[in-house]
Amino acid sequence: MDSKKSLSPAQKTIVGVQFLFVAFGATVLVPLLVGLDPSTALFTAGLGTLIFHLVTKGKVPIFLGSSFAFVAPIIKATELYGLPGTMSGLVAVGAVYGLMSALVKWRGIGFIKTLFPPVVIGPVIILIGLSLAGSGVNMAKENWPLALIALLTAILASLLGKGMIKLIPIFCGIIVGYIAGAVFGVIDFEPIVAAPWFAFPQFVKPELSWGAVIFMIPVTIAPIIEHIGDVYAINEVTGKDFVKDPGLHRTMLGDGLACVAAGLIGGHPVTTYSEVTGAISLTKITDPTVIRIAAVTGIV
């Protein structure tokens, strides 16, 4: 499907918001696990995605969200060096991405294939996915009937839906699941009523801590491998070669600058989100504009 020609601005907006919903759960859950502000995480995810698209010339339909790889390191680093010190370590993470970007630009993609061959990239991505599978299962265990209703709705909308319905199967699953939850009386509306309409991010100013920098740098290896795998995955989904155009060095630099931006304002480091790539594969909407709409929605 040539999504650039077939979707109206209104349709792109709806699909973009749907993609944000796909990334929303993990993007908010990660900062809650480490004691960071979820509003700031949404802000940095949106900002980081826009930075990524700027660096990659707006060609790569990838969304950046909170990285699970840093959960345990951030918790430990915060205990040892405090939150401001930990933020300086997260800025250093972005610098490592920048260094890798420069090496790829200098040595070429063959350098990455030698350093991280498929036999390394594949298992690492599988392990990351398997480590996160428990989160989804644990959430579903809270109410299996509702989980199955939402899942089956999304599957049926994708397989049997026509027109706009086929483009928003995940939205359909969320809406039908929510309605079913309301009918079954398992939704507590009091927190929704009590919640403020607007919440500003809680920014944190980083303070240089060499201990935190040294502590965080080795952790960067896992998300870099994940990044490479996700770029190859989006290649398969779109039928394009983003490793060559705009280049893996640009995607790495964009990811790194997004991490730097997150660290400078107290957000969680970001990474390429495979779940959004999966949603792109499901909907066949590959227009990067839709991802940027999701990013702006996350900021707002």
In this structure, is residue 125 part of a structural domain?
Answer: yes
In this structure, is residue 171 part of a structural domain?
Answer: no
In this structure, is residue 271 part of a structural domain?
Answer: yes
In this structure, is residue 126 part of a structural domain?
Answer: yes
How confident is the model at residue 168, as a pLDDT? 81
In this structure, is residue 73 part of a structural domain?
Answer: yes
pTM summary value: 0.83
Cβ count within 10 A of residue 185: 7
How confident is the model at residue 117, as a pLDDT? 79
pLDDT one digit per residue (tens) for the chain, 300 residues: 444 447 888 889 999 999 998 888 788 888 888 888 888 999 999 999 999 999 999 999 999 998 888 888 899 999 999 999 999 999 999 999 999 999 999 888 887 778 777 777 777 667 766 766 666 777 778 888 888 998 899 889 888 887 778 778 888 888 898 899 888 888 877 777 776 767 777 888 999 999 999 999 998 988 898 899 889 889 988 989 999 999 999 999 999 999 999 999 988 899 998 888 888 888 888 999 999 999 999 998
**Over the chain, what HEC string results?**
CCHHHHCCHHHHHHHHHHHHHHHHHHHHHHHHHHCCCHHHHHHHHHHHHHHHHHHCCCCCCCCEEECHHHHHHHHHHHHHHHHHHHHHHHHHHHHHHHHHHHHHHHHCHHHHHHHCCHHHHHHHHHHHHHHHHHHHHHHHHCCHHHHHHHHHHHHHHHHHCCCHHHHCHHHHHHHHHHHHHHHHCCCCCHHHHHCCCCCCCCCCCCCCCHHHHHHHHHHHHHHHHHHHHHHHHHHHHHCCCCHHHHHHHHHHHHHHHHHHHHHHHCCCCEEECHHHHHHHHHHCCCCHHHHHHHHHHHHC
In this structure, is residue 178 part of a structural domain?
Answer: no
Sign of CA dihedral 216, 23, 6, 235: positive
In this structure, is residue 294 part of a structural domain?
Answer: yes
In this structure, is residue 290 part of a structural domain?
Answer: yes
Cα separations in angstroms, 181 against 135, 150, 186: 20, 10, 5
In angstroms, rounded to a whole number, what is the distance separating the alpha carbons of residues 174 and 262? Answer: 29
* Strand 270-272 to 64-66 pairing: antiparallel
In angstroms, rounded to a whole number, what is the distance separating the alpha carbons of residues 23 and 148? Answer: 20
Query: Total structural domains in the chain?
Result: 1
From 248, 250, 204, select the one nearest 51 (Cα to Cα): 250
In angstroms, rounded to a whole number, what is the distance separating the alpha carbons of residues 49 and 64? Answer: 5
Cβ count within 10 A of residue 253: 24
From 219, 229, 226, select the one nearest 271 (Cα to Cα): 226
Domain that holds residue 63: 3-143+186-299
In angstroms, rounded to a whole number, what is the distance separating the alpha carbons of residues 72 and 79? Answer: 11
